[in-house]
Chain A
Amino acid sequence: MKERNLSLGGILLLLAVLIYAGVLLLAPVVALISNTFQDGFDPFWKAITDGEALGTLWLSVRLAVIASMFNAIIGVMVAWVLVRHNFWGKGFLNALVDLPLVISPVIVGYVMIVLFGRLGWLKDFPIKLAFSWEGMLVLTVFVSLPFVIREIQPVLGGMGKEQEEAAYTLGASPWGTFWRIIFPSIRHALTYGIVLTLARSLGEFGAVAVIGGGTQGSTESATIYIYRSLNDRNYAGAYSMALLLGIISVLILIVMNNLRVHKRGG
């Protein structure tokens, strides 16, 4: 579609979109910012440099980083198998990849307890997954599972298998083929997927609240901290942390947008 200068109809459409996006997206953000800074900058600074708050943010960041790295590695493998291999039930498996996006995180947290809790079906599992950070990590991996896969799949599909096969014929190892042929092509899509995964992991609330138990100082993530601060009337703490997570999200957004330009450029 060709880009044009605005016509009269275009101005009207643009206005409608701007009002809609403004009310829907921008107004809530403005409300949050004005509430955070209503008593100046100091309460915000004090709230985000508070040891407890930083601890929860640190936990969230660690969970998000580890989950993203894990999903990046596994995601590439899954995407490659789903694109290059044919096997019975592939279509079904492929459709299931989106499930973590639609299933309610609370129920997933509860499933984890049914499986790994004290009376769980797998209660003798060697790693303690209920009410521990390891359990929170597994759930974070789960809720952000589709992003990397869904970003890489079209790229791999579009690339075709000829190059890979040529590399094998010439005697390259699978590992070498991956680094020389596949990786350079999927690099941008992979990074974009990781960024989406990071954003999603950072913001998870329902699932980690159920599985972690929300113990202060050990299994309290940044989002649980926001929830608790609201209940404790620590509004400065809650709004500041919400804003901080928002700022991190926007930074992630900026990265995302640069990548989108790259992706389009090939």
Chain B
Amino acid sequence: MRKWFIIFTILLFTVSSFTQAQENEVTLTLAGFAVPREAYGKIIPLFQAYWLEETGQTVVFEESYLASGAQSRAVIGGFEADIVALSLEEHVTRIADAGLITADWQDNPYNGTVSTSVAILLVRPGNPEGVTDWADVVGRGLEVITPNPATSGGAQWNVMAAYGAAYRGYVDGYSADAEGALQFLTALFTDVLVLDADGRESFLTFERGIGDVAITYENEYYAGTAAGGEYDIIYPTSTILIENPIAVVDVYADKHGVREVADAFVAFTYTPEAQAIFAESGFRPPYERVLTPSEVEGEPDVLTLVPTTELDEERFPPVEDLFVIDAFGGWAEVVPTFFGDEGIFTKMIAEVKG
């Protein structure tokens, strides 16, 4: 009997150890996508010091980093994150549509984008296959690595980068229209060997020696080289500007009574010191969309993308044809037409691999 008494005591102890109480502290829950974890790891201590000095309050952070879509679904399902930092605008829109974000989160000079990057091609050191642009990737039996758009927001950026480049006439051998772009996408995904669940996993698969070309992001390249990885980065002539949103989840933040500090944190991510950390981690700053009237009468306005902070061109070289998702009607339109159950991409991948 005594043995069982001891077991029971241990049980009580383990149960009681779950309860916790804190005073004079404020807790912020951040739900992020997997990639910028390192950057937030450095920004958070800076913010904690800043907030302590401003208000005398200690901020405790609870951080969760999962694939962007998973994070979005979790927040809608009841994961009470005060702040979301996701990969796709559409993932934040879903949360807003669920009624959890009540303010216009894109109402700031940065359109709600906190960091950006560009989709690039990654090859083995010395570029043994001589890949210089999108057109060199397909039809040569090269093994291509990219994440799965069904689970990864980042993967959807990759698909739209390739599709857009062809659509805009920057891929030789394919006509510059929807049909040609789809043909290019089909050829590209015929050569895809592994479709990992998220962007980082896909990158690590390439790092493990699988595949000849990976479609990935400039910031992943910098994170990888910083960790001692060896590969070459190839900037395509035409590629997409990847914009990662950040937003306060109003309903949860108000519920936890942390609105003020949550707003302050989001504002803090735009400060030069926070942006410097993003740059150090390989992210570009938010870009501003500048519309200038076309020189030709009757043509639509010309859109130019201007970085909000001056770029170090050694580290972040300009791309000849940089485009944004607006070119295809924004994510609200792209997600259902490309990645829905009957979407262009969803159908294509079933045919290609069938």
Contacts and interface: CB of A to CB of B under 8 A. Distances in A.
B63 A117 contact: no
A118 B10 contact: no
B15 A66 contact: yes
A130 B79 contact: yes
Contact of B64 (A214, A230, A231, A232): A214
Contact of B11 (A66, A116, A213): A66
A130 B78 contact: yes
Chain B contact residues: helix, strand, loop or mixed: mixed
A62 to B, nearest CB: 5
A163 interface: no
A150 to B, nearest CB: 22
Chain A contact residues: helix, strand, loop or mixed: loop
Contact of B201 (A65, A119, A218, A231): A231
A118 B34 CA distance: 24
Nearest to A216: B63
A215 B62 contact: yes
Contacts of A232: 37-38
Contacts of B29: 215
B17 interface: yes
Contact of A216 (B14, B64, B200): B64
A215 B83 CA distance: 13
A62 B17 contact: yes
B62 A233 contact: no
A138 to B, nearest CB: 14
A131 B80 contact: yes
A34 to B, nearest CB: 16
A113 interface: yes
B64 A69 contact: no
Contacts of B15: 66
A10 interface: no
A69 B6 CA distance: 13
A61 to B, nearest CB: 8
Given A214-B64, A218-B62, A119 B14 contact: no
A62 B18 contact: yes
Nearest to A131: B79
A154 interface: no
A133 B18 contact: yes
B204 A230 contact: yes
B14 A213 contact: no
A228 interface: yes
Interface string A101-125: 0000000000001001111100100
B7 A69 contact: yes
B18 A233 contact: no
B74 interface: yes
A130 B75 CA distance: 11
A120 B201 CA distance: 31
Given A131-B78, A230-B204, A214 B227 contact: no
A228 B80 CA distance: 21
B64 A213 contact: yes
A90 B15 CA distance: 34
| Most central of B18, B37, B227 by chain A CB within 10 Å | B18
A28 interface: no
A62 B19 CA distance: 13
B62 A118 contact: no
A217 interface: yes
A65 B77 contact: no
A214 B66 contact: yes
A217 B18 CA distance: 12
Contacts of A131: 74, 77-80
B65 interface: yes
A64 to B, nearest CB: 10
Interface string B1-31: 0000001001100110110000000000101
B62 A120 contact: no
Contacts of B38: 232
Contact of A231 (B7, B17, B34, B62): B34
Given A118-B78, A214-B65, 8 more contacts: A62-B14, A65-B10, A113-B74, A118-B76, A120-B78, A131-B79, A216-B62, A232-B37
Please give me the 6 A-B residue pairs with the lowest Cβ-Cβ distance, nearest first: A118-B78, A117-B77, A215-B64, A131-B79, A117-B78, A113-B77
29 contacts: A62-B17, A65-B14, A66-B11, A66-B14, A69-B11, A113-B77, A117-B77, A117-B78, A118-B77, A118-B78, A119-B76, A119-B77, A120-B78, A130-B77, A130-B78, A130-B79, A131-B74, A133-B18, A213-B31, A213-B66, A213-B74, A214-B64, A215-B29, A216-B63, A216-B64, A217-B62, A217-B63, A230-B204, A232-B38
Interface of A: 62, 65-66, 69, 113, 116-120, 123, 130-131, 133, 213-219, 228, 230-233
